[in-house]
Structure 1
Amino acid sequence: MDGYPPPLAAGCYAQAARANALSKEQGFGDRLQFQVGDALAQPFENGSFDLVWSMESGEHMPDKKKFVSELARVCAPGGTVIVVTWCHRVLGAGEAGLREDEKALLDRINEAYYLPDWCSVADYQRLFEAQGLTDIQTRDWSEEVSPFWGAVIATALTSEGLAGLAKAGWTTIKGALVMPLMAEGFRRGLIKFNLISGRKPQ
């Protein structure tokens, strides 16, 4: 949890404890467990899972190569790795990087949401290939997800939403103020919401 404010780190452990309590109440016992760990050094043995699923986590990883390596490591042979994450657009032919105005927009978002550098779905595809994953597929869900930010902004501007922001404190308020930038990134085609999947060979 390095790089995150202490309240956020503490909140993750509290959420896991609450989820485990609810799981037991529902009769799942040891079949379902919630655990907080380091995604870049996961506390699991090699080949522990038939399905490894990462949802909106990749954008928080400072080392994307290590992140994908760990996902592949804990995936069992024949299993599937799925990453659903925010990405920047795929660079065009001859482009060495994003434009300066695009970098500036992402920098403002990163500062508010404590994010490291972004990458593209093409970068993830190369990382999957480097880990020996096969049957790699990608999907762009940006169009389906883009209305989300407008809905969140509208909710935040209600009396109930504003009261909640005031109660949550400056960190949450700072994040809320950046939401229009996420919407702008989608409109400009800079920000993408992508899925990448691959299979670990037997």
Structure 2
Amino acid sequence: MTANEIGGLDVSRETFERLQTYEALIRKWNPAINLVAKSTLAELWSRHIEDSAQIGAYLAPEIRIWADFGSGGGLPGIVLAILALERSPDTAFHLVESDQRKATFLRQAAQTLGLKVQVHTQRVEVLAPLGADVVSARALASLRMLCGFAARHLAPTGFAIFPKGANFVDEVEDARQEWNFDLDERVSLTHSDARLLRVKSIHHV
């Protein structure tokens, strides 16, 4: 089994090939649905897939439910579900995407790739609480708003992973006006001024 590297993770040849198949699916569907901005399509692998894959460092066999909000084209939800096949095969993924066409793509991608994924075509704030061990969201909303989503859907001992850009300090300060939470930061492997924020114990101020 030949090892490959993506997002700081060593993955099997089978996993790498699944990621390449997923990349091809995005390129096929993108002209009709605009899963990623056309201007970023040339950098699809590095800017989107690899950026999402680094979140896979938080995958663990004990995680039962991982919820991804505003999944769009599956970044990071589908990428993480692919990585989980070898890193945490018992983890079930719930992808929340209110756009019907994008949700259709997510279901098709999950079926094509043989992933343990359930797609919810609803808004995060009205979806019944999922009791997730982990929640994630990439480029969806402010940290303040994301904390509200996470508080609704996380299990009591769960945590959230939110990739944020260069203004992450301002977002944290703003979120703390409404929420108390424990925070760990990890420097993004794809953008040195960006961070992966690990947030837990979220409660209203």
The TM-score with structure 1 as length reference comes to 0.42
Indicate the structure with greater strand content.
2
Higher relative contact order (CA 8 A, sep 6+): 1
Whose helix fraction is larger, Structure 1's or Structure 2's? 1
| Structure label with greater radius of gyration | 1
TM-score, structure 2 as length reference:
0.41
